[in-house]
Structure 1
Amino acid sequence: MSTETPASLRVAPRPDDPRLTRGVTGRDQSGAPVDLRVVEERPLTIYLNSREIVTAMTIGDHPEWLGLGFLVNQGMVRAADTVTGIDYDEELATVVVRTAVETDHEAKLARATRTSGCAVGTVFGDMMAGLEGLTLPATPLHVADLQALSAAINRTPSLYLEAGAIHGTCLCHGPDPLAYFEDVGRHNAVDKLAGWMRMEGVAPGDKTLYTTGRLTSEMIIKCALMGIPSLVSRSGFTAWGVEIARQVGLTVIGRMKGTRFVCLSGADRVVWDAA
């Protein structure tokens, strides 16, 4: 399959970055020697001001966006909080997000729970906090755009195509991919995207979030709290995730393979315009 980076991508995967993969040798099913690239996995400790929050296992790219996005998606840095700086120390493997005023993160840390997500899947406090009264824009989702996105994303040079064992998340507008992030955990990829959107001031109301990961309750909640009205995955659903999506008016499409998919929430907002 030929690959090509879409012209619309403002942030693209980095399959050629030597820091993100490592060469290893092994043997195939016939016993013949093989050489291949495997994805790196390294710790990154995230601080909010002077408080250590969590250590995530990550491939190591975009640490500043990952740190900020994690805190934003956990509700520890809110829209009203002024971020005064983000400091990354590669040697210490730490990223420190600084805000003008101390936040309420201590209370959230006291109620930490572990979710079903791989890698970093920790939600602080009540998972449903912030969803009460949330209304997502009823942005239409065109099937023709979905098909164009699926083709474009699957042909984009990526670590997934290079080495596998990785999740991808892409923010899209209509048929155009805008920012594509990868990581060993699907939550990390989404958090990088959230950090990028916060730093770049990207509006979410007319966007679609494409992910390779499962559509679990936490993925649904993250997408809704980010204000993105449509979520698409080539993987499947959980029942609670579908229930939450229907409650908040999130259009959710899963099992997206080529031109085939299943919509379990928001079908009334889907425009069935593909041949």
Structure 2
Amino acid sequence: MTEPSSSPSVPLPTPEAIRSLGARRITAGGVAQRAEAIAAEVPVALIYNGQSFAVMLATPADLEDFARGFSVTEAVVGAAADIRAIEVRAVDRGIELRVTIDDYWALALAARRRSLAGRSGCGLCGVDTFAEALRPVARVASRFTVGPAALRKAIADMPAHQTINAQVGAVHGAAFVGADGSIRALREDIGRHNALDKLIGAVIDDDVGRGDGFVLVSSRCSYEMVHKTAVAGIPLIAAVSAPTSLAIELAEKVGVTLVGFAREGRFTVYAGGERIAPETPAA
């Protein structure tokens, strides 16, 4: 059993995250048998104080970060400090994350307990009501600004930090980036929501401060991605693909700057443009 701790870094791939499987590659020159590096996808059960809450399909890496980030962004606890311990346990069909939380939150969870059947592409699976799906979040109060050059630097540098995706080509990345464009932490998963939860779990107690940087994700930006970013108190999320209409509406409401199509030296600002500093003219 391990005590919760933050570990903002760019980790190397773990053996559990990548599997080698046989495949046939067919080209104009013929057929070749080869071993392919494949992203692992396993059921991960989140169990709080002995009670099952959710089962997600995820990449089996950085699972303590995942448990911590999921617990905060899904309002299982009010803060990372409400988590007393996290135990990662391998079982026959997958992995259990046994999380011990404060009694107050355990009682609150029991009152709203539901069965969630999560899929890698779905961040709201199992939510029973519209109110639960669109639950309120506090407005992000931050005077953080970032220049276009720093955004472009992070966009260009991110692929080199995606160590799992470099081998398998099938996982999303979520990075926490400083105002200078430097990537301070990155987590990967087959699910974009899972990757963001892992990242939030890694940086939530970072002394640098979540209000002094932004999130960059290798996916589209949905409502849930903006919601998780706001819950974590991060003032900006940039995505390499497009946002949804509900994501833009939420970003405007909660004060999160939303950037989409962040790729190839360009990006589009959909909400909170005041945090994007003017371009500095070249000398």
After TM superposition, the score normalised by the length of structure 2 is 0.84
Aligned: 1:218 with 2:221: no
The superposition leaves residues 23-72 of structure 1 with CA deviations (integer Å, 9 ceiling, x where unpaired) of: 23222243421532111111111111121011111121111111121111
Displacement of 1:235: 1.0
SS in 2 for 1:243: helix
Displacement of 1:228: 0.4
Deviates more, 1:221-230 or 1:135-144: 135-144
Aligned: 1:151 with 2:156: yes
SS in 2 for 1:45: strand
Aligned: 1:27 with 2:25: yes
SS in 2 for 1:149: helix
Displacement of 1:144: 0.9
Distance 1:64 1:261, change over 3 A: same
SS in 1 for 2:210: coil
Displacement of 1:180: 0.5
Distance 1:173 1:123 in 2: 35
* Cross-structure match for 1:107: 111
Q: Map of 1:156-167 to 2, 5 A cutoff?
A: 156=161, 158-167=163-172
The superposition leaves residues 170-224 of structure 1 with CA deviations (integer Å, 9 ceiling, x where unpaired) of: 0111211111000000111111112222355662111100101211111111111
Unmatched runs of 5 consecutive residues or more in structure 2: 1-6
Q: 1:136 aligns with which of 141, 146, 161?
A: 141
Kindly report the root-mean-square deviation, in angstroms, between the aligned alpha carbons of the 2 structures.
Answer: 2.5
Distance 2:15 2:256 in 1: 38
Distance 2:10 2:230 in 1: 24
Distance 1:261 1:253, change over 3 A: same
Displacement of 1:233: 0.9
Aligned: 1:58 with 2:58: yes
Query: Which structure features the higher share of helix residues?
Result: 2
Letter in 2 for 1:217: Y
Letter in 2 for 1:219: M
The superposition leaves residues 106-151 of structure 1 with CA deviations (integer Å, 9 ceiling, x where unpaired) of: 33334x78899705544756233332x5243131121111111112
Q: Map of 1:44-55 to 2, 5 A cutoff?
A: 44-55=44-55
Distance 1:53 1:155 in 2: 35
Q: Map of 1:7-26 to 2, 5 A cutoff?
A: 10-15=8-13, 17-23=14-20, 24-26=22-24
Distance 1:204 1:122, change over 3 A: farther
Letter in 2 for 1:99: I
| Contact kept? 1:113, 1:123, Cα under 8 Å | yes
* Cross-structure match for 1:3: none
Letter in 1 for 2:16: R
Letter in 2 for 1:156: H
SS in 1 for 2:248: helix
After TM superposition, the score normalised by the length of structure 1 is 0.86
Distance 1:80 1:255, change over 3 A: closer
Aligned: 1:185 with 2:191: yes
| Contact kept? 1:57, 1:119, Cα under 8 Å | no
Displacement of 1:80: 8.1
* Cross-structure match for 1:195: 201
Distance 1:212 1:46, change over 3 A: same
| Contact kept? 2:162, 2:186, Cα under 8 Å | no
Q: Percent identity at matched positions?
A: 23
* Cross-structure match for 1:246: 252
Deviates more, 1:17-26 or 1:62-71: 17-26
Q: Map of 1:119-134 to 2, 5 A cutoff?
A: 121-122=124-125, 126-131=132-137, 134=139
Displacement of 1:248: 1.4
Distance 1:114 1:255 in 2: 30
* Cross-structure match for 1:173: 178
Q: Map of 1:82-121 to 2, 5 A cutoff?
A: 82-91=82-91, 93-103=95-105, 104-110=108-114, 118=121, 121=124
